[in-house]
Structure 1
Amino acid sequence: MTSAYLDEAGSVTQAFTEEYHRVLAGDRGEKTVPISRLEPGSVRWLVETYYRSKAFQSQSPATQKDKKSVLNRYCVNVGELPFKKIRKSDIEASQMKRSGTPGAADKLVKYLKALFNWAISAELATFNPANGVTKIHKSPGFHTWSEAELARYRAAYPLGSTARLAMELMLNLGIRRSDLVKLGWRNLVGDRIEFMPEKGFGKYAQSLSLPVTDELREALDAITHDQPTFLITEYGKAFSGNGFGNKMRQWCNDADLPECSSHGLRKASATILAEAGATEHQLMAIFGWSDSKMAQHYTKTAQSKRIIDAGFERRKIYVARNNVPLSSSRNSGETNRGKNNGKTTSEDRCGPP
């Protein structure tokens, strides 16, 4: 018996393997729903109209996929409702329903806000019910790797290992994992890595040209394979973004670094540059940020540390200049007692009590 997934010998085909890994990666192959089959004015109708808009189509494939995943799940429960009847309280109720996963809950609000902002610009809506809905996710975000953690990871994975190469690429370039997995020899131009970031593609896309540091050059020179991408799986294939994230999680766990992650390396890269004195505009150029909000976070933190260190340095100088060692006090007392030897004191005059 043969099929698309079984050959004549009954073994799984390449088509089955590709389909299996596609589904594992989260791609359910959702098809676009014909607008004609939807109730005009419903939430689902608005969402599907948004998918066909220039605003949505200009976003990167990864962003489109993520938004579809979130909004399609939202439509399962409210898709038939009229979108013009949705109020802020309804958005908050949907958010709190997902409070068990606060990051996902806030992402839903973010994407609904974008949906209704587009609807207003397209003259389909007159107000945004997601405006004013505050976040419930209070986490400080991904942990930033410390110098000690970087040293521990390097000790666990020597040059020439995929784990070490991945870390050096992310730390020294500060790139997202969606870009990392695509980098290869074609991106190495002289002493620079040049590529087009996936995030912002088609909207404010701007190619990046980043210098190869000494640490990264050492890691690249240790590569022994001839595959198109720098990073390859144990099967000799390029990583997917999610696949690399899972692998990085495993590498960190094996190195006894449970709090560390791939995104934390990007934060460590920004922290190192900011503490080295990089300006907001320099950080924006390096990390591909379209506004200064994130850059300001790193520069202000670094500036605060420098101000604090300068204050304690002044304290150190002040203490060194004004403190009199205890040994000097003792010597001074001994000298005075020596000077009194042979002299009549009040105690000598009065006698014992």
Structure 2
Amino acid sequence: MKFRLKYVAEDVDRHGNVRLYYRRNGPKVRLRGPTGSPEFLADYRAAAAGSKEVKTDKAGRVVPKSFRWLCVQYFQSAMFQELDPRTQKVRRSILERFCEHKGDGDKPFAQLLPRHIRVRRDEMADRPEAANGMVKAVRQLYRYALRYDHHDDNPAEKVEYLKGNPDGFHSWTLAEIEKYEEAHPIGTPARLALALALYTGQRRADLVVLGKQHVRDGWLTFTQHKGRNRKPVRMEIPVIPALQRVIDATPTGDLTFLVTAFNRPFTSNGFGNRFRKWCDEAGLQNCSVHGLRKAAAARLAEQGCTEQEIMSITGHRTSKEVTRYTRAASQKTRAESALRRLSREQTPDESVPLLAAVVPGGTKSQPK
């Protein structure tokens, strides 16, 4: 006979195993299974009575001063709560996986050394970005520990990041943009998505919220999604004629330019998945929506824009990332400029040999 007790929750781990918990107000308590077994009922009664003697395995117990205990303190802190909800989700997931690895969550956090983190990092060497994300999450955890006087060292600060792809996401070429435009003509949502990304240089989290209400006197005015709770970046970008023509020719939503087939705004992940399909339909498997942000910065660099001018469009607070985005374009622009000067018809003064134009005193000789 099936029955269901109050406050019992089920959770399926990544291996497909069903875990049982008692959860009521306070932290959840692991219950032995299966449901209805003598062990389950004994654990349930003890948990319901608030007994501290509940028999649980390591997955349901937080050992004081353990790595898992430090994570719990961190998740409850203002330092963690100030993060963007998506960042919270990602970081919590990374740290929980760290806890589950070989029982590391129950080990004293004060005994974690740089060499231990390096071993974990090297195990993920085939996924350098994921490995670096793990190192970064542990760094932030121990920064919390330092700030709140739980510890006096940050072992993760001494662990180097792995070298990933130095260029990051693939930056679209002009030929790839033209190929996409051939597959998705003006008037389609796919073409509108391309135009918004290319002519604003924004991240997909910003593209999905832009709408008519953000246009004021021909300018897009909005606050970027990334860092909006800690270091908000307010943007004002002109709507150039090429973008306005695409917007005018495309059906849009009431609150956002980009909408799903059900006329609802996209989520950031949903838009990324949809754009992936549009790229595949155009035969551009190596292209992504973030690559258009890089392409926008590169095109500005090719037009001779300074890093500060490019940053005013992309919203970057430092030039480090912009420099990486525009490295190839800047090299091309400098090379073109240098060769143009070289091939320019030289003036009589420019044709004077350098050595002949300098006297021993170090000044230019005067004509006699």
TM-score past 0.5 threshold: yes
Shift of 1:293: 1.5
Q: Structure 1 residue 229: deviation in Å?
A: 1.5
Structure 1 position 179 matched with structure 2 position 206:
yes
C-alpha distance in 2 between matches for 1:318 and 1:116:
63
Q: Structure 1: how far apart are the matches of 2:135 and 2:147?
A: 18
Q: Deviations for 1:21-75, whole angstroms, at most 9, x for unmatched residues?
A: xxxxxxxxxx998499632311111112112222222221121122112122212
State the 1:304 CA deviation: 2.9
Task: Quote the Cα distance in structure 2 between the aligned partners of 1:59 and 1:192.
Answer: 29
Instruction: Note if 1:296 corresponds to 2:327.
Output: no
| Displacement after TM superposition at 1:318 (Å) | 7.6
In the alignment, does 2:334 pair up with 1:310?
no
**One-letter amino acid matched to 1:256:** G
- Say if 2:80 is the partner of 1:56: yes
Aligned equivalents of 2:26 and 2:297: distance in 1?
A: 42
TM-score, length-scaled by structure 1: 0.75
CA RMSD of aligned residues (A): 2.5
Aligned with 1:113 (options 139, 145, 148): 139
**Residue 261 of structure 1: aligned partner:** 288
Bigger Cα Rg: 1
Give structure 2 stretches of 5+ with no counterpart. Answer: 1-22, 29-51, 53-60, 347-368
CA distance in 2, matches of 1:62, 1:92: 26
Corresponding residue of 1:104 = 130
CA distance in 2, matches of 1:298, 1:245: 20
C-alpha displacement of 1:299: 5.7
Cα separation, 2, equivalents of 1:33 and 1:220: 51
Q: 1:105 to 1:226 in 2, by over 3 A?
A: closer
2:156 alignment partner in structure 1? 130
- 1:73 aligned onto 2:97: yes
1:88 and 2:114 are equivalent in the alignment: yes
Query: 1:124-156 CA deviation, whole Å, 9 max, x = no partner?
Result: 221211123223342131100011111111111
Asked if 2 retains the 8 angstrom alpha-carbon contact of 1:191 and 1:211, the reply is: yes
Distance 1:226 1:60 in 2: 26
> Residue 137 and residue 235 in structure 1: after superposition, are their counterparts in 2 closer, same or farther (change >3 A)?
farther
Mapping 1:229-240, distance limit 5 Å: 229-240=256-267
Confirm whether residue 205 of structure 1 aligns to residue 232 of structure 2.
yes
Instruction: State the aligned residue count.
Output: 290
Unpaired runs of at least 5, structure 1: 1-30, 320-353
Shift of 1:302: 4.2
Name the TM-score, length of structure 2 as normaliser: 0.73
TM-superposed deviation, 1:108 = 0.7
Does the Cα contact within 8 Å between 2:302 and 2:329 map onto a contact in 1?
A: yes
Judge which range, 204-213 or 95-104, deviates more.
95-104
Alignment-mate amino acid for residue 229 of structure 1: T
1:217-251 Cα shifts (integer Å, max 9, x gaps): 01110122443221111222221111111111111
Whole-angstrom distance in 1 between the partners of 2:127 and 2:253: 42
Q: Which has the bigger relative contact order, CA under 8 A and spacing at least 6?
A: 1
Instruction: Pick one of 41, 63, 66 that aligns with 1:39.
Output: 63
Change in Cα spacing, 1:121 to 1:281, as seen in structure 2 (3 Å) is farther
Amino acid at match of 1:281: Q
Q: What is the alpha-carbon distance in structure 2 between the residues aligned to residue 177 and residue 226 of structure 1?
A: 17
Could you say what secondary structure the match of 1:209 adopts?
strand
Please state how far the C-alpha of 1:310 moved relative to its aligned partner: 2.5
CA distance in 2, matches of 1:180, 1:311: 38
1:63 maps to amino acid: T
Q: Distance between the aligned counterparts of 1:185 and 1:311, measured in 2?
A: 44
